[in-house]
Chain A
Amino acid sequence: NAGVIQTPRHKVTGKGQEATLWCEPISGHSAVFWYRQTIVQGLEFLTYFRNQAPIDDSGMPKERFSAQMPNQSHSTLKIQSTQPQDSAVYLCASSLAWGGGAETLYFGSGTRLTVL
Chain B
Amino acid sequence: SQWGEENLQALSIQEGEDVTMNCSYKTYTTVVQWYRQKSGKGPAQLILIRSNEREKRSGRLRATLDTSSQSSSLSITGTLATDTAVYFCATDSSGSWQLIFGSGTQLTVMP
User: Counting CB contacts under 8 A, is A2 at the interface?
Assistant: no
* Number of B positions contacting A (CB below 8 A): 26
Question: Whole-angstrom distance from the CB of B24 to the nearest CB of chain A?
Answer: 16
**Interface residues of A, CB < 8 Å — how many?**
24
Interface stretch among A13-21, A61-69, A77-85, A101-109? A101-109
A42 with B101, Cβ < 8 A, contacts A101-B91, A107-B43, A109-B42 known: yes
Complex CA–CA separation, A102 to B99 (angstroms): 9
Asked whether any CB of chain A lies closer than 8 Å to the CB of B83, the reply is no
CA A78 – CA B81 in complex, angstroms? 38
Contact partner, A101, options B40, B42, B90, B104, Cβ 8 Å: B90
Asked whether, in the complex, the Cβ of B88 is within 8 Å of the Cβ of A43, the reply is yes
Q: Assess whether B101 is in contact with A109, with CB atoms less than 8 Å apart.
A: no
**Once the chains bind, are A59 and B33 in contact (CB under 8 Å)?**
no
**Residues of chain A in range 82-116 having any CB-CB distance to chain B below 8 Å:** 91, 93, 98, 100-102, 104-110
Q: Which A residues touch B48, using CB under 8 A?
A: 102, 104
List the A residue with the shortest CB-CB distance to B50: A102
| Residues of A near any B CB (own CB < 8 A) | 4, 33, 35, 42-43, 45, 48, 55-56, 58-59, 91, 93, 98, 100-102, 104-110
